[in-house]
């Protein structure tokens, strides 16, 4: 099964990541993260990859994340509520977000991706 790459077309890091995948001949399915965010199940898989640290899912540099109302709300949410929030607001998720068989990556660091895809 091809990994899904959730990305934002104007994101330079996303463009670097997809270019890298294409150069390496890795087939993938592209999804627009704002319009089609990852599912709660996919988000749970990423949380597991992050050792249970749900905060690592967040795009902390996004305008949405820096909204004072959201910042006040986040500490009051359960894990389930947080995942549902992310599944409904893709702009809050750190990108690119790559999920597939035994692959769960966020952001783009070439050496990390090399290890994930080729070892």
CA distances to 52, 55, 82, 100 from 103, rounded to whole Å, are 16, 19, 22, 5
| CATH code at 4-118 | 3.40.30.10
Token readout for 74 is 């986040």
DSSP of 46-81: HHHHTTT-GGGGB-TTSTTTT-HHHHHHGGG--HHH
Give the global pTM: 0.94
Tell me what percent of the residues of the chain surpass a pLDDT of 90.
93
Query: For strand 4-7 and strand 29-32, is the pairing parallel, antiparallel, or unpaired?
Result: parallel
Q: What is the mean pLDDT of the chain?
A: 96
Model confidence over 28-50: pLDDT tens digits? Answer: 999 999 999 999 999 999 999 99
The yes-or-no verdict on residue 53 having pLDDT over 90 is yes
């Amino acid at each position: 099964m091809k990994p899904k790459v959730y990305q934002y077309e104007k994101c330079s890091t996303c463009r670097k990541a997809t270019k890298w995948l294409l150069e390496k001949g890795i087939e993938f399915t592209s999804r627009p993260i704002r319009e089609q965010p990852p599912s709660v199940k996919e988000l749970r898989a990423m949380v597991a990859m992050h050792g249970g640290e749900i905060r690592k899912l967040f795009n902390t540099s996004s305008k949405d994340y820096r909204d004072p109302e959201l910042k006040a709300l986040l500490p009051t949410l359960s894990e389930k509520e947080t995942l549902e929030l992310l599944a409904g607001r893709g702009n809050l998720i750190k990108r690119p977000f790559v999920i597939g068989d035994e692959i769960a990556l966020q952001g783009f660091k070439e050496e990390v991706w090399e290890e994930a895809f080729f070892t």
